[in-house]
Chain A
Amino acid sequence: MSLTVLKPGFQSTLQDLGRNGFTHLGIAPAGAADSFSFRLGNLLVGNGENDTGLEMTLVGGTYYFNQSVLAVLTGSRFTATLDGEDFPFFKAFHVKKGQELDIGPSQDGARCFLTVKGGFHVPQILGSRSTHLMTRIGGYEGRDLKKGDQINFGYSTTSIEPEKLEKIFEPDRSVLRVTKGLQYDRFDNKIRDVFFRERFKVSQRSNRMGLRTEGPEIKAGITDEILTEGLPIGAVQVPGDGHPIISFVDHQTTGGYPKIANVIAADLCKVGQLKPGDEFKFQLVSMAEAEKLYFEQESFFQKFTESSS
């Protein structure tokens, strides 16, 4: 059971929820860039929440199914047709053997996900099937997909009934909520004021390692660099040129730039959907509020994870 890549899209990688337990060796977790949409995909075909899916960026690609399977698209809406007919988003659909799924450019955010019943089958590396592009481990031979790749799927270990969704989440990507970063105090009031008042634009140089911004310059105090320390996902680092970088799923595990803020966990799915040219603002929330929002988001999947574990 497999599908064949006829056209690979802009950057298509196999992902799960990430590789945990090895950042002390410098190995980043990686994992789906919008884990909320990724998990929805698994939910909608009745998979376990960590089964491997295909993440597509900006342009999806064309895939030939060598076997019939229940499949679903989640995340941002891209143009999508199955043998020329519109293919729905957020609705599980039986794709038949010999059909071609063509996923074109995004009509909305940066990423969408293709999930099939049973998940994609690639070797586990350090407990995860996520691709980490820089290290070239995980996923399909440690890289993004190319024309001609044949990806196995369908070794379903679960027998969960697919869920139907009544409500589709479309979070507001023009606002990223943040908590204070570890070096927040090194930035004076004027700079903080600019940081929270002005709009930032997503740079072309953004990728899964980090979301780079253009716009107002944020200059730290006397020193530009700090002693290298662990870098949380979502950290808003301010390098010497004053253009903040948000550390993301493939992030370096440690860093030496001061961190003015940290995107809250509940808003990381928005970071995965921001694309070059998009504009957004940062909004400060308290640590308690951030944690409450995170667990509210998690509770959505509670029933699903309980029934699959």
Chain B
Amino acid sequence: MILDPTVIPASDRSILVQFGDEISEDLHYQVFLFTQGLLASSHQAISNISPGYSSVLVRLHHKTTLAEGMDTIEEVLKEEHSGDTISQRTVEIPVCYEDEFGPDLGRVLKHTGYDKEELIERHTSGMYLVYFLGFSAGFPYIGGMDESLATPRLETPKKTVPAGSVGIAGHQTGMYPLSTPGGWNLIGRTPLTLFNRSNPKDTALHMGDRLRFRTVNRAEFESLGQSQ
């Protein structure tokens, strides 16, 4: 069931539904259920939703008033949400941690004090959770990184980070589905297409996925990249 969240206008065309103010799997579960409820509902009042760590932003259809939006949200919150409908996928992400793909490996090794082998071992041994997709198309917000790998983000962001880059920023690890500017420490790259322009709805990762990283060498990286 969904707990009683705070529901407040975020602007004159959007409403924030806030379940708490911390990163936790319990809150994520609430956010997940409510997001699924909104996506499954046929309510015309809503045009767009953005789940976050502990909240969901609901953007209104251009004819909907804030009061109507509030009513719709209350209705969806009251609906029955069964946990049985949650598919807990575990997705394995191959990563090549070679230096050419990880220009900031040196910085992370220096900051953590680990050698490269230990870094890869710690990065690939974690079971991660995709809290939500946001920021840019298909970009996963991932939790569960070994705390000892935390490294401050770059002081000067790179102008271009290649698509598929895997990085660490503060206590987070993540991947870039698109080639964009970015300030994360890059430690490797996945050959997987995380966002597919010819089928944009089919993102490689979904909210609620469990995720593991697996180390691959250069040859496997090439062949996996070609076989897609």
Identify the interface centre among A136, A231, A254, A287: most chain B CB within 10 Å of its CB. A254
Query: Which of B11, B23, B57, B197 has a CB less than 8 Å from the CB of A227?
Result: B23
The answer to whether A10 has its CB under 8 Å from any CB of chain B is no
The one of A21, A137, A262, A287 in contact with B48, judged by C-beta atoms closer than 8 angstroms, is: A21
* Cβ contact within 8 Å between A134 and B134: no
- For the complex, is A98 an interface residue (Cβ under 8 Å from B)? no
Contact partner, A24, options B14, B35, B178, Cβ 8 Å: B35
> Is A265 in the interface zone, CB < 8 Å from B?
yes
Decide if A118 is an interface residue (CB 8 Å cutoff). Answer: no
Query: Is B139 an interface residue, CB under 8 A from the partner?
Result: yes
Interface string of A4-21 (1 = CB under 8 A from B): 000000000000000011
B50:A231 contact, CB within 8 angstroms: yes
Interface check B201, CB cutoff 8 A = yes
Cβ of B56 within 8 Å of any chain A Cβ, yes or no, is yes
In angstroms, Cα B63 to Cα A22, docked, is: 19
Contacts of A229 in B (CB 8 A): 16, 50, 52-55, 57
A41 contacts the other chain (CB 8 A): no
Q: Verify B197–A262 contact, CB threshold 8 A.
A: no
The interface bits of chain A over 119-153 (1 if a CB of B lies within 8 angstroms of the residue's CB, else 0) are 00000011000000011110000100000000000
CB proximity of A291 to chain B, nearest CB, Å: 5
* Residue pair B49, A26 in contact (C-beta under 8 Å): no
With a cutoff of 8 Å between Cβ atoms, the chain A residues found around residue B133 in the complex are 24-26
Separation of A252 and B47 alpha carbons in the complex (Å): 16
Given A26-B133, A137-B197, does the pair A179, B11 have CB atoms closer than 8 Å? yes
B47-98 interface (Cβ within 8 A of A): 47-57, 59, 62-63, 65-66
Closest to A250 in B: B136
If A25-B200, A26-B137, A254-B132 touch, whether A232 touches B51 (CB-CB below 8 Å) is no
Given pairs A24-B207, A26-B135, A255-B135, 14 additional interface contacts (CB within 8 A) = A23-B48, A23-B49, A25-B201, A135-B136, A135-B178, A229-B53, A230-B59, A230-B134, A232-B13, A233-B59, A253-B136, A254-B57, A287-B12, A287-B66
The chain B residues found within 8 Å of chain A, CB to CB, are 8-14, 16, 21-23, 35, 39, 47-57, 59, 62-63, 65-66, 132-139, 141, 177-178, 180, 195, 197, 200-201, 203, 207
Closest 5 CB pairs of A and B: A230-B57, A230-B50, A254-B134, A229-B52, A290-B12
